[in-house]
């Protein structure tokens, strides 16, 4: 079933575990993520960036596609359709399209404006039973055109954003979108601890691809309840697709048929999602 994220992530924070948030880009991606969650028997969050939603044909199409897949695949685990890193307009559009959850990412606005707009989105979303994620500080690197300086989240600002009534909070704690540079200093556990003490909401770790597992596990034990993964699935898809083509399989039989050509990459995404869910410790659905 489709559900909002509030109870699922509250339970994760209370139980010191984490639920995966995976970005989708198309039909194959959506199926791979849903199949993995169903096999592992865990709740899952499927998110579209603004760019992916544009690529796929808009928020209504994304919502309709995921909803139809949940039905046709007979998915029984809870599924949350979420907008990832939305600006103000995108958050409103996703709410209108019936997403279950939206992130309003106001990190590039002056803080007071981020706060005001977050309040507005919370009011609108909650009137329709939709959950809201907000961002304090910023995530370094680039996620589909959304660029961040990697500014460390302020504890005071985290408290103020939490007080707007949001359901989960993403904080910049040294995490970066995309590949991590060799000289990366690691997650800032001191700041994560301070934020987790001050804010009892589920905390979100963006830039989940490529963080050493021990660091993610420690972060989960400290209050991270939603782990965002995108690049890892993209790289797994690209690698499997490249291998298929380099082995000349697209030239054998009807290997150029898109249903065959896209199958190895789709399987690679499913395997990546299953593996991630496996070590993330997500509690199974009863």
Which residues sit at the interface with ligand G3H, rule CB under 6 A?
23, 84-85, 143, 177-178, 206-209, 228-232
Q: Shortest Cβ distance from residue 180 to ligand G3H (Å)?
A: 8
Cβ within 8 Å of residue 93, ≥6 positions away? 59
Q: Which of 10, 84, 112, 197 is catalytic?
A: 84
Q: Shortest Cβ distance from residue 32 to Zn ion (Å)?
A: 19
Given Zn ion, ligand G3H, none, residue 209, with its beta carbon under 5 to 8 Å by kind, binds ligand G3H
Given Zn ion, ligand G3H, none, residue 86, with its beta carbon under 5 to 8 Å by kind, binds none
Please say which residue, 69 or 84, places its beta carbon nearer to ligand G3H: 84
Given ligand G3H, Zn ion, none, residue 208, with its beta carbon under 5 to 8 Å by kind, binds ligand G3H
Q: Shortest Cβ distance from residue 99 to ligand G3H (Å)?
A: 15
Q: Interface residues with Zn ion (CB under 5 A)?
A: 143, 206, 228
- What tokens does 61 get? 């199409």
Active site residue 84: yes
Please say which residue, 167 or 244, places its beta carbon nearer to ligand G3H: 167
> Strands 141-143 and 146-148: what pairing?
antiparallel
Q: Shortest Cβ distance from residue 234 to ligand G3H (Å)?
A: 7
Given ligand G3H, Zn ion, none, residue 275, with its beta carbon under 5 to 8 Å by kind, binds none
What is the full DSSP assignment across the chain? -B--SHHHHHHHHHTT--EEEEE--SHHHHHHHHHHHHHHT--EEEEEEHHHHHHHT-HHHHHHHHHHHHHHTT--S-EEEEEEEE-HHHHHHHHHHT-SEEEE--TTS-HHHHHHHHHHHHHHHHTTT-EEEEEES--BEEETTEEE--PPPPHHHHHHHHTTT-SEEEE-SS-BSSSPPTT-----HHHHHHHHHH--S-EEE---TT--HHHHHHHHHHTEEEEEE-HHHHHHHHHHHHHHHHTTTTTSTTTTSHHHHTHHHHHHHHHHHHHHHHHHTPPPP-
Please say which residue, 84 or 244, places its beta carbon nearer to Zn ion: 84
Radius of gyration of the chain (CA): 18
Q: Shortest Cβ distance from residue 58 to ligand G3H (Å)?
A: 19
Given ligand G3H, Zn ion, none, residue 20, with its beta carbon under 5 to 8 Å by kind, binds none
Please say which residue, 51 or 165, places its beta carbon nearer to ligand G3H: 51
Please say which residue, 146 or 244, places its beta carbon nearer to ligand G3H: 146
Q: What amino acid positions are annotated as catalytic residues?
A: 84
């Amino acid at each position: 079933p489709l559900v909002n994220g509030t109870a699922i992530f509250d339970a994760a924070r209370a139980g010191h575990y984490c639920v995966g948030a995976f970005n989708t880009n198309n039909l194959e991606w959506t199926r791979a993520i849903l199949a993995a969650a169903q096999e592992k028997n865990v709740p899952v969050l499927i998110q579209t960036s603004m760019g992916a939603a544009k690529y796929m044909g808009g928020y209504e199409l994304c919502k309709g596609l995921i909803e139809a897949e949940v039905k046709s695949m007979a998915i029984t685990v809870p599924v949350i359709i979420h907008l990832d890193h939305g600006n103000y307009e995108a958050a409103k559009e996703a709410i209108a399209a019936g997403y279950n959850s939206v992130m309003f990412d106001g990190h590039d606005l002056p803080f007071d404006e981020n706060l005001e707009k977050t309040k507005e989105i919370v009011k609108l979303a909650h009137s329709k039973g939709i959950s809201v994620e907000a961002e304090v500080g910023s995530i370094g690197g680039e996620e589909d055109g959304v660029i961040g300086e990697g500014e460390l989240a302020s504890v005071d600002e985290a408290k103020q954003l939490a007080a707007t009534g949001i359901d989960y909070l993403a904080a910049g704690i040294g995490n970066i979108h995309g590949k991590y540079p060799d000289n990366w200093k690691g997650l800032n556990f001191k700041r994560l601890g301070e934020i987790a003490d001050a804010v009892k909401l589920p905390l979100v770790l963006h830039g989940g691809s490529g963080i050493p597992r021990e660091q993610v596990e420690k972060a989960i034990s400290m209050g991270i309840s939603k782990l965002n993964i995108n690049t890892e699935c993209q790289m797994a898809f690209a690698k499997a697709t490249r291998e298929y083509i380099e082995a000349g399989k697209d030239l054998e039989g009807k290997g150029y048929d898109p249903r065959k050509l896209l199958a190895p990459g789709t399987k690679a995404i499913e395997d990546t999602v299953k593996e991630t869910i496996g070590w993330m410790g997500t509690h199974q659905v009863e």
